[in-house]
Structure 1
Amino acid sequence: MSILLSGRWEAAERDQWLALLRAALPEESWVLEPGPEVEAAVVANPPPGALQGLPRLGFIQSLWAGVEKLLADDTLPAGVPIARMVDPAMNEAMPQTALWAVLGLHRGFFEIQAQQRRAEWRQLAQPRAGEWRVLVLGLGELGGRVAQLLAAQGYAVSGYSRRPAELPGVRCLHGEAALAAALGEADTVINLMPLTEATRGFFDAARLAQFKRGAGFINLARGAHVVEADLLAALDAGRIGRAVLDVFQVEPLPAAHPFWSHERVTVLPHTAAQTDARSAAALVAANLRAWRAGREPAHRVERDRGY
């Protein structure tokens, strides 16, 4: 089988992936340029048009969890199954980052860090974890794990999803009315929703006005979920007490962007949970072998849903 490896990356990153994938699937032929012999493609946000004109293409495996950029390519061959990356290492890292951010907001550690810069010694109130209400938006693979980890730490956790869900220790919600009520009572809101046309610009002025005054906002999903000017206005007005942001409309975040210097914003350089090429290569190999054997690949994308 001829497999195309295609993406927008530096040569060193591409070569690392190629070496790991060749080691995981030594029986296959890997190519870096499209051609009529290509039967499958392993991609990382490939340039638009990279997958058109491949008559034998039968399967596409994304190396990233999000596939919105891939699906936005009008030349993407219709009917070819696509699988997204659900990396076990990422599944561990994202809940760790979420717990760190929630602890920082709940225990006031971000404010204490600011106090250090002012040489200010002041002890803050310390509510119990069970008194701190956390709302996780998106209960997919990552959101579900985040919600359950936080619940296991004693937090009062609610989770919102488009469809009904059930998770041990988590109050699961769906529907607009339930969402509005949950936003109004949550001390911390974590966004882990997929990016679709329905969720693009989800956090605008109207949505942020539904938040409990002074609540913390953690965005670990996609920058396009947030109307950044509206978030800045909500922070300045005190509607949002602090934002912990890992993703942005433009990345890298421009040096002149006000998020960098805002006293109530913590900026992460898209590092909440990075794909581990070692474990991901093993998953790619398993999915390609499953497809080759006529079995359903894991984590297949539903194109009409956008994830």
Structure 2
Amino acid sequence: MTTHTIQIDGTVQRYHVHGQGPVCLMHSGGPGIAWEYLRMPEVEKHVTAVYIEPVGTPGADQLPNHPHGYTRERYAKAVDAVIDDLGEQQVYLMGHSAGGFVAQHYALTRPQNLAGVILYDTSPVTGPELFTEAQSKFDEFTARYAGHPELPEILKAWQAVPTLKDDESTTRTIRTLLPVYFKNYWAKEADLVAIRAAVTGRHVSGLDDDLVPEMIDDRAVLGMLSVPALVIVGLYDFICGPRWARELHDKIPDSTLVALADSGHFGHIEQPDDFADAIANFIR
């Protein structure tokens, strides 16, 4: 493993290199979630995984207008800089969750830099449609685990999401909600409790430098995405689930869809071998 530091417009950008094989940049989600949850040891057997540490996340540098300005074009410029620093002509790019918005944008605007794009538990759209679907899936979760002693705190945390304004409450809410993101967190709690305790987040506003919300709907332009795409989704993902994976797959001309039957939002943790096989087969 090596860690590298570069400068982008006066802001420090770090990235971490693990594994061997074709180069694949990994962009974590959130936004504002520390990148370490995305480590993929099984995938690293097949690719040189370059984990970008997004600015604005815990431990990373911040933009001058923090917590604002973290647009996907700003993150795309970081991808440009990392590729340039690596000295690669073309790479694969994976985006998980909110990182998938960055990966879609990058593939649409800079296809010449990519051998392929991997859209992992993400969506072509943000805003009311996404959150209406998420609420429906959240309700299914609460019905499935009705009576579980953690459920009242999970319900309170979900209701608090729109009001988050600081790093402490963001991290606390992420940890409380984490079981919702797995197919069955409590069945594997002994293995997952350390991940829950370690995950951290920073409050990121979702506003650009002019304090305007960045709304995303790529559905009208996905037909112009010209690089091969792999769409991976966990069938129990409540936030970026099968509906959105199907839309991505149907609209992207050269795409492969892999659905993980026993995963929620973290297939690389819940089904690591199947997840790694999907990546290896795509790159081959």
Is the TM value for this pair above 0.5? no
Q: Which has the higher helix share?
A: 2
Q: Normalization by structure 1: what TM-score?
A: 0.28
**Greater relative contact order structure (CA < 8 Å, 6+ sep):** 2
* Bigger radius of gyration among the two: 1
Q: Normalization by structure 2: what TM-score?
A: 0.30
